[in-house]
Amino acid sequence: MASQITNYKCPACTGPLHFAGASGMLECDFCGAKYDVAQIEALYAEKEAKAVAATEQANAKAEQNRQKMAEMESQGWDTSSLNSDWGAEADGMKAYSCPSCGAELICDASTAATSCPYCGNPTVVPGQFSGALKPDFVLPFKLSKEDAKAAFLRLCKGKPLLPKGFTSEQRLEKITGMYVPFWLYDCAADFSGSYKATRIHTWSDSKYEYTKTDHFLLKRDAAADFVGIPMDGSTKMEDAFMESIEPFDYKQLTSFDMAYLTGYLADKYDVPSENGEPRVRQRVDAAMDDRLQSTFAGYSSVVPTSRQLNIKHNKARYVFFPVWILNTKYKDKIYTFAMNGQTGKMTGAFPICPKKTAAWFAGVTAGVALLASLVQLLML
């Protein structure tokens, strides 16, 4: 009689393995894969070693975080709200790391991570929760997994070249709710600039056309406060994906509480907040330039000669934004889909089935040939 091995999972599909006396091997209840007992034990021994290494790495990162926060404070950022003290809440949290892409995931004790939501790797290594900053705020999920499934199906609708089974229920079940780490920056900015401008006036008489060009030296000064300049805090989530599902409604930001993690995973940031300095400067500069452009009405051309931007650092806040993620493989390539868990805005890249593509081109070619034959008959 077969005895159940509940602590071993199938490396292929993460289903439960049981020992089958007839074959003398561990067999998966879901996909039917078979494994030698020694093979699985070696795999889990490797997992345990990686978990120990992940814990040591997390502790090292915690020390790096403390040093980086000190650097931020010396540069003028207010980091008083950032801390790593989760209090009693830490006892109810679990941590996982992906040996494939390096993602570090956290969740509540009742939520299990059986695969990596970023790269689709079926094996994630359990480890000890430590070394993570506690978010200041969180945007709770408003849309459910069923909403994400429906949005994915709508996105796939009308795409006849998709591979067969790409919208199967088995694939849809891999959609994962993820809180993605973000930094929100508040700052004050002073801008000054000089510009060369021209105003061209033309007229003519019975003999000649005349052009008069007036030249001006323009100076502009402006000051503004900025609140909530966003920067993705995870290298695993591509910035282009996050930008394509923005915006998020900051009015619904709420103080972080562990209850919001129930049933979801969360990614630990791996982009430190001080790395946002170039992004903050770029976005502030673009915003100030847009504001000043509105004051240049009536000129034929305006060319900047000097620009100076001074940013007074104020505050950096650490937040979690809700995203539904699907990473799915087709012909050894990973395709990623992401949906804003607050608004439902979704984006993704689609594979194309070679057989369907060939059939489609064959149909088009046949249609063109038939049309050409009909034209020739009509011309006879």
Check residue 2 and give its pLDDT.
36
| Residue 24 CB partners (closer than 8 Å, separation 6+) | 37
Please tell me what DSSP assigns to residue 108: E
Check residue 53 and give its pLDDT.
64
Rounded-to-integer distance, Cα 362 and Cα 366, Å: 6
Check residue 129 and give its pLDDT.
67
Check residue 28 and give its pLDDT.
77
With CA atoms as reference, report the closest residue to 123 among 103, 94, 145, 107.
Answer: 103
Q: Is the pTM of this model over 0.85?
A: no
Check residue 195 and give its pLDDT.
92
Check residue 196 and give its pLDDT.
94
Check residue 167 and give its pLDDT.
72
Mean pLDDT, consecutive 10-residue stretches, the chain (380 aa), reads 46 66 73 78 69 60 62 64 67 76 77 75 68 83 92 79 69 85 91 92 91 93 90 81 87 88 84 81 86 86 90 85 83 79 85 53 49 52
What angle is formed at CA 87 by the lines to CA 85 and CA 91, rounded to 5 degrees? Answer: 115
Check residue 89 and give its pLDDT.
67
Strand spans (E) along 33-88: 34-35
